[in-house]
Amino acid sequence: MALIFGGASPEHEISLRSAKNIYAAIPREKYEVHLLGISQDGNWYHLEDDFFEKNGLIQDLGKALAIVPGQTDRPFVFLEGEGGMPKVDVAFPITHGPMGEDGSLQGILNHLRIPFVGPDVLGSSVAMDKDVAKRLLREADLKVAEGMCFHYYEKDAIDYLAVINQLGSPVFVKPANMGSSVGVKKAENKAEFDLAVKDAFKYDHKIIVEEAIIGRELECAVLGNAVLATSSIGEINMVEDTFYDFESKYESDTAADLNIPAKNLDDQELAKLILVAKNAYRALCCEGLSRVDMFLTEEGAVYVNEINTLPGFTSISMYPALWAQAGTPYGELIDELLQLAMERGARNAGLKRLRL
Ligand SMILES: Nc1ncnc2c1ncn2[C@@H]1O[C@H](COP(=O)(O)OP(=O)(O)O)[C@@H](O)[C@H]1O
Ligand SMILES: [Mg+2]
């Protein structure tokens, strides 16, 4: 198997942290692991087994790879010198954000005929795009925050008063395609809003503005292709007066607490959250795994905030922790994900859609 990590997105470092944990947990009696690192400038490298002990940059420690699509026994060849990385029967891309989680990397793996962990191209891309995802969720009768979407060509016509007239105040401003709260801002007045819009457009040509949902922030781990398994529900508790921004996700020990499982949810609320998580997973064409992030309001309404198709696997990440709590240790979880990937790979290979 190939563990693919890094990438050119702002979530490069998060991916490295996730990959280090996954690498340590892969059952070695079942899988021979090859490390494929993508540098911050997007180049692909083969890395030695001791990469995670070395603390160096991918491009400094790896051997640059060229990719050969099609029916080949040598999909990864070294750019310099002889040889390459062996062909693998499955890949685990633990790459977050644009170019890693949005279907583009998944498309490359399809061309290389390598089955991979996580949703296929379509699920990956629609879940990544918050505007498209919300339209599909709404169509599946799931609640999402009311919002507005603006493209780069409408930038100059964005009218703050019209926005708060429709959505109230404060609002959340986000790039349509990003993750880890990069470019996400809460705005309470025009000055903050203008700044937030300007910032969000640095990351995408399309942004969304949403009403602020007041409620508990809850997450569910979903796993499966034909049959879905769900974990219990985890909760993000904001200790400091902020939202779940990049700093509180990864850089502060005190800003947010994870409660696994969430406390004080009655059976009805639990059942509702789990049903919404499964329906959202299906609505966005997910397979393999995804983490479904929701809000639960005081009135008992469940909103889907977003779906992460390659959620964090760091030591403090919710997805593996939810499964550990459910009795599935990290190594078994990785094994199950790889099996699901190979199962889908075999299913795709059985289709008559290509002349192979
Ligand atoms: N509409 C909203 N109402 C309340 N809080 C929100 C809303 N949208 C986002 N947030 C807060 O911002 C965080 C990041 O937003 P999110 O949409 O999950 O972006 P990302 O994909 O970067 O994680 C959420 O975890 C939540 O704390
Ligand atoms: Mg999020």
Nearest ligand, CA 217: 1
Q: Which residues have CB under 6 Å of ligand 1? A: 145, 172, 174, 178-181, 184, 210, 212-213, 217, 243-244, 293, 305-306
Kindly report the three-state secondary structure assignment for every residue of the chain: CEEEEECCCCCHHHHHHHHHHHHHHCCCCCCCCEEEEECCCCCEEEECCCHHHHCCCHHHHCEEEEECCCCCCCCEEECCCCCEECCCCCEEECCCCCCCCCCHHHHHHHHCCCCECCCCHHHHHHHHEHHHHHHHHHHCCCECCCEEEEEHHHHHHCCHHHHHHHHCCCEEEEECECCCCCCCEEECCHHHHHHHHHHHCCCCCEEEEEECCCCEEEEEEEEECCCCEEEEEEEEEECCCCCCCHHHHHHCCCCEEEECCCCCCCHHHHHHHHHHHHHHHHHCCCCEEEEEEEEECCCCCEEEEEEECCCCCCCCCHHHHHHHHCCCCHHHHHHHHHHHHHHHHHHHHCCCCCCC
**Pair (45, 98) in one structural domain:** yes
Residue 88 lies in a domain: yes
Which residues neighbour 301 within 8 Å (Cβ) at sequence distance 6 or greater?
Answer: 143, 215
**Pair (10, 104) in one structural domain:** yes
Give the span between the Cα atoms of 173 and 212, in whole angstroms. Answer: 10
Ligand 1 atom closest to 244 (CA): 27
Which residues neighbour 67 within 8 Å (Cβ) at sequence distance 6 or greater?
Answer: 44, 75, 76, 108, 112
Report the residue count for the chain. Answer: 356
The CATH code of the domain that includes 269 is 3.30.470.20
Residue 328 lies in a domain: no
Q: What is the pLDDT, as a whole number, of residue 253?
A: 67
Q: What is the pLDDT, as a whole number, of residue 70?
A: 84
**For ligand 1, mutation pick of 9, 172, 245, 310 (most atoms within 8 Å of CB):** 172
Q: What is the pLDDT, as a whole number, of residue 80?
A: 95
The alpha carbon of 180 and the centre of ligand 2 are apart by a number of angstroms equal to 6
**Pair (37, 82) in one structural domain:** yes
**For ligand 1, mutation pick of 182, 244, 247 (most atoms within 8 Å of CB):** 244
Residue 348 lies in a domain: no
The alpha carbon of 26 and the centre of ligand 1 are apart by a number of angstroms equal to 31
pLDDT tens sequence across 207-253: 999 999 999 999 999 999 999 999 999 999 987 777 888 888 777 76
- Domain ends where: 195, 211, 227? 211
**Pair (15, 113) in one structural domain:** yes
Residue 246 lies in a domain: yes
- Tally of structural domains, the chain: 3
Give the span between the Cα atoms of 328 and 259, in whole angstroms. Answer: 18
pLDDT tens sequence across 146-187: 999 999 999 999 999 999 999 999 999 999 998 888 899 999
Give the span between the Cα atoms of 56 and 95, in whole angstroms. Answer: 18
Answer yes or no: is pLDDT of 71 > 90: no
The proportion of the chain whose per-residue pLDDT surpasses 90, expressed as a percent, equals: 86
pLDDT tens sequence across 196-210: 999 999 999 999 999
Answer yes or no: is pLDDT of 260 > 70: yes
pLDDT confidence tier of residue 352, bands split at 50, 70 and 90? confident
pLDDT tens sequence across 113-150: 999 999 999 999 999 999 999 999 999 999 999 999 99
pLDDT tens sequence across 286-304: 999 999 999 999 999 999 9
Ligand 1 atom closest to 308 (CA): 21
- Tell me the residue range of the domain where 301 lies: 214-309
pLDDT confidence tier of residue 189, bands split at 50, 70 and 90? very high
Ligand 1 atom closest to 130 (CA): 17
**Pair (238, 191) in one structural domain:** no
The CATH code of the domain that includes 77 is 3.40.50.20
Q: What is the pLDDT, as a whole number, of residue 354?
A: 79
The alpha carbon of 178 and the centre of ligand 2 are apart by a number of angstroms equal to 9
Nearest ligand, CA 179: 1
**Pair (204, 228) in one structural domain:** no
Which residue, 69, 163, 181, is CA-closest to 114?
69
**For ligand 1, mutation pick of 166, 184, 236, 307 (most atoms within 8 Å of CB):** 184
**Pair (6, 112) in one structural domain:** yes
Q: What is the pLDDT, as a whole number, of residue 104?
A: 96
The mean pLDDT value of the chain amounts to 95
- Domain ends where: 161, 189, 211? 211
Residue 42 lies in a domain: yes
Answer yes or no: is pLDDT of 356 > 70: no
Nearest ligand, CA 218: 1
Give the span between the Cα atoms of 40 and 17, in whole angstroms. Answer: 14
